[in-house]
Amino acid sequence: MTLSSKTPPKKKSPRGAPPGNKNALKHGLYAAHFTEPIRTRLGDMPPLESLPEIYMLRSKLDALCNLIEECQDEDRRVKLYNSLFTGTQRLLFAMRTHTFLVGDNKEILTDFWKALAAFQDELGL
């Protein structure tokens, strides 16, 4: 005589990520470091193209320039200038990579050099 022991069916776990999970953000790596309008703009851009990275870097460099202008502490200002230098190198690298991938984009390069010249003029460099 066998007793048929029925085990209750396993409860299915809900599909998908738990509420609040940000893994699906296209630019999740940077999400905490941008304002809401910039996050929205980045979210509308394709994740595997280089132009969004260029726009992101330009946005951060602009914010860094604003911090430098407002900074009263000389030691912090030196650190901000170092960050600006590093960020500018990254921007140039991203622009060069974009040029290799899709060809020359003179508009981006022209805008960059104009912005750099204006910043140098502003600082008297």
Number of domains forming the structure of the chain: 1
Predicted TM-score (pTM) of this structure: 0.51
Q: Is 19 inside any structural domain?
A: no
- Cα–Cα distance for residue pair 74/119, rounded to 1 Å: 19
Report yes or no on 2 lying in a domain: no
Take residue 101 and report the two structure tokens written for it: 């991938």
82 belongs to a structural domain: yes
**Which comes out higher in pLDDT, residue 66 or 117?**
66
- Note the pLDDT of residue 21: 61
| Closest listed residue to residue 53, CA positions, set 42, 44, 61 | 42
Express each pLDDT in 27-86 by its tens digit.
555 556 667 777 777 677 665 667 777 888 888 899 899 999 999 999 999 999 999 999
107 in any annotated domain: yes
Q: Is residue 90 part of a domain?
A: yes
pLDDT confidence of 101, banded at 50, 70, 90?
confident
Residue 108 lies in a domain: yes
Q: Say how far apart CA 90 and CA 57 lie, in whole Å.
A: 8
C-alpha distance across the termini of the chain, in Å:
96
Expressed as residue numbers, the domain containing 111 is 50-123
Within a domain: 11: no
* pLDDT tens per residue, range 9-42: 666 666 666 666 655 555 555 556 667 777 777 6
Under DSSP, the state recorded for 6 is P
Q: Which of 47, 45, 55, 39 is nearest to 108 (CA)?
A: 55
In a domain, 6, yes or no: no
Lowest-pLDDT choice from 7-16, 64-73, 85-94, 102-111? 7-16
